[in-house]
Chain A
Amino acid sequence: MTTILKVTGYGVRNLVRSRWLLLYAFFFLASAEGLLRFSSDGTKALLSLSSVVLFVVPLVSVVFGTVYLYNAREFTEMLLAQPVRRSHLFAGLYLGLMLPLAIALGTGILIPFALRGLLRGADGGTLVILVFTGAALTAVFTALAFGIALRIEDRLRGVGAAIGIWLLFALFYDGLLLLLVALFADYPMEKPVLALVLANPVDLARVLLLLRFDLAALMGYTGAVFQQLFGGWTGSLLAATALTLWIAIPVACGQRRFRRKDF
């Protein structure tokens, strides 16, 4: 247990001093600040900020994560040669990558809202959900980064795979879904679409956020279906559970792979 904490601690310490992480935090700070200035109220700023988070967090988590892990390869080997259990080392490496990214996201977003005293009330609640959803996406996509870096030995192909995964979940998925719905317009598509939404972490995060805004119908087909089938808590709970599974399963797979891998 203390091994996990120690390895996590040094991962955090290494990344917190990294310029890239600082830049990442500053990006969210600037986005939140800018959107608050140019929107008439906090809710609208939050809505736009949600789109930014849904787009950028998966990209940076999976691509930065993959590159980081390739760079850490030799050091990981060195740590593996110490009297440390692989499962502990994996947990430490994962948390040491995921937590700094989530912390950068959280601080970047929260500071502009905190300075305006917008942390309470309805917007405050949404803000908390936005930060948690962003953190969950970070957890999902860094776990996928581990999956890539542990499976693909060639860096270039690995980074390509990372970008591919992001393109798939963040861009193409909704388009394909829409295409599917258009093709089968004569059939009842709610149930299959729902299943497909559950299979995409970015969609799940979007649903979690949009159910808060009561604007689900405005934001794509998936949101509308979700709101229609589950208003309020049922929908949120279902989406949150599915998102948790999206963290747990890739982490478990990565852990398994890490234990068996030849370095």
Chain B
Amino acid sequence: MIDVIGLDKHFGALHVLRALDLRIARGRVTAIVGPNGAGKTTLIKSLLGLVHPDAGSIRIKDTMVNGDVRYRAGIGYMPQIVRFPENLSGRDLIALLTHLRGAAVARDEELIDAFALGEHLSKPVRSLSGGTRQKINALLAFLFRPELLVLDEPTAGLDPLSSSLLKDRILAARGVGGTVILTSHVMSELEELADDVAFLVDGRVAYIGTLFDLKHMTNQSNLERAIAVMMRQGMAA
């Protein structure tokens, strides 16, 4: 689904991505983990075309990411924090995104009911709670049934009910052949959802493989400990 080859990016003197190679398979949930500053966010933003890499290439499905914007019609992005325009309502935002993505796209409105968002969608965003805003954020990512979901800390700020609904949605999306890229600080959550783990250190992929293999390789029973072992080894190397 995604082929990243030799991706390189500097921010000033900071070398954030160092010839990063990554292949993400279709129809799987891939967790991107790594210590702070490893380049997770920069990698995700490169996939979305928000960051222009210095070198290297990204292919998503059959499109090279280099200026043609149409490939993004197949991506649902849920940023970590989003501040919506204060005086617009959820419905305004849905209408805007529907237009930007082409009105013909079939929308998945089940999530509106599942999140009990109905009445909140007509209120201006400024009057909504942080959790409700985060639900709208999630809704906008899933609404257009994208083939690829890019979710940055998706459950942060959600209550347990909404959080588990969202997890069901992620697994359901995978069930119909969707590809999901996920970051989170909550390892147990990644353990619940992820098929594959990409472990980033210093702008490189230090490990990519199945969750099972990672635990087996490090001889640990859960992801958190496996990652801790990887990090310790990473520091030593």
Within 8 A of B (CB), among A1-59: 2-3, 6-7, 10-11, 13-18
Q: Is A83 an interface residue (CB 8 A)?
A: yes
Number of chain B residues whose Cβ lies closer than 8 Å to a Cβ of chain A: 33
Question: Inside 8 A of A116's CB, which chain B residues have their CB?
Answer: none
Question: Inside 8 A of A82's CB, which chain B residues have their CB?
Answer: 72-73, 97, 100-101
Chain A residue with the shortest CB-CB distance to B150: A81
Q: Mark A111-146, 1 if CB is under 8 A from B, else 0.
A: 000000000000000000000000000000000000
Taking a contact as CB atoms closer than 8 A, the residue among A6, A81, A260 that contacts B96 in the complex is A6
Q: Is B50 an interface residue (CB 8 A)?
A: yes
Question: Inside 8 A of B86's CB, which chain A residues have their CB?
Answer: 14, 18
Q: Which of A72-80, A177-185, A208-216 contacts B (4 or more CB under 8 A)?
A: A72-80
Taking a contact as CB atoms closer than 8 A, the residue among A7, A11, A16, A75 that contacts B83 in the complex is A75
- Contacts A6-B99, A82-B72, A82-B101 given; indicate if A71 touches B49 (C-beta within 8 A): no
Q: Is A157 an interface residue (CB 8 A)?
A: no
Query: Are the C-beta atoms of B50 and A71 separated by less than 8 Å?
Result: no
Chain A residue with the shortest CB-CB distance to B85: A14
Q: Is A262 an interface residue (CB 8 A)?
A: yes
- Contacts A3-B100, A79-B100 given; indicate if A74 touches B50 (C-beta within 8 A): no
Within 8 A of A (CB), among B24-70: 45, 48-52, 69-70
Q: Is A263 an interface residue (CB 8 A)?
A: yes
Q: Is A194 an interface residue (CB 8 A)?
A: no
Query: Are the C-beta atoms of B69 and A83 separated by less than 8 Å?
Result: yes
Give the complex CA separation of A7 and B96 in angstroms.
7
Question: Inside 8 A of A79's CB, which chain B residues have their CB?
Answer: 100
CB distance from A244 to the nearest CB of B (A): 30
Chain A residue with the shortest CB-CB distance to B53: A262
Taking a contact as CB atoms closer than 8 A, the residue among A6, A10, A77 that contacts B88 in the complex is A10
CB distance from A24 to the nearest CB of B (A): 15
Q: Is B116 an interface residue (CB 8 A)?
A: no
Query: Are the C-beta atoms of B87 and A15 separated by less than 8 Å?
Result: yes
Within 8 A of B (CB), among A76-100: 77-85
Give the complex CA separation of A16 and B124 in angstroms.
13
Number of chain A residues whose Cβ lies closer than 8 Å to a Cβ of chain B: 29
Chain B residue with the shortest CB-CB distance to A72: B85
Query: Are the C-beta atoms of A18 and B87 separated by less than 8 Å?
Result: yes
Query: Are the C-beta atoms of B48 and A10 separated by less than 8 Å?
Result: no
Taking a contact as CB atoms closer than 8 A, the residue among B79, B88, B102, B124 that contacts A78 in the complex is B79
Give the complex CA separation of A15 and B71 in angstroms.
31
Taking a contact as CB atoms closer than 8 A, the residue among A75, A84, A263 that contacts B51 in the complex is A263
Chain B residue with the shortest CB-CB distance to A14: B85
Question: Inside 8 A of A17's CB, which chain B residues have their CB?
Answer: 87, 124
Query: Are the C-beta atoms of B100 and A74 separated by less than 8 Å?
Result: no
Query: Are the C-beta atoms of A83 and B72 separated by less than 8 Å?
Result: yes
Question: Inside 8 A of B81's CB, which chain A residues have their CB?
Answer: 74
Query: Are the C-beta atoms of B73 and A83 separated by less than 8 Å?
Result: yes
- Contacts A81-B72, A84-B69 given; indicate if A74 touches B51 (C-beta within 8 A): no
Q: Is B142 an interface residue (CB 8 A)?
A: no
- Contacts A14-B85, A14-B87 given; indicate if A263 touches B50 (C-beta within 8 A): yes
Query: Are the C-beta atoms of B88 and A83 separated by less than 8 Å?
Result: no
**Measuring CB to CB, which residues of chain B are less than 8 angstroms from any residue of chain A?**
11, 45, 48-52, 69-73, 75, 77, 79, 81-88, 92, 96-97, 99-102, 124, 140, 150
**Measuring CB to CB, which residues of chain A are less than 8 angstroms from any residue of chain B?**
2-3, 6-7, 10-11, 13-18, 71-75, 77-85, 260, 262-263
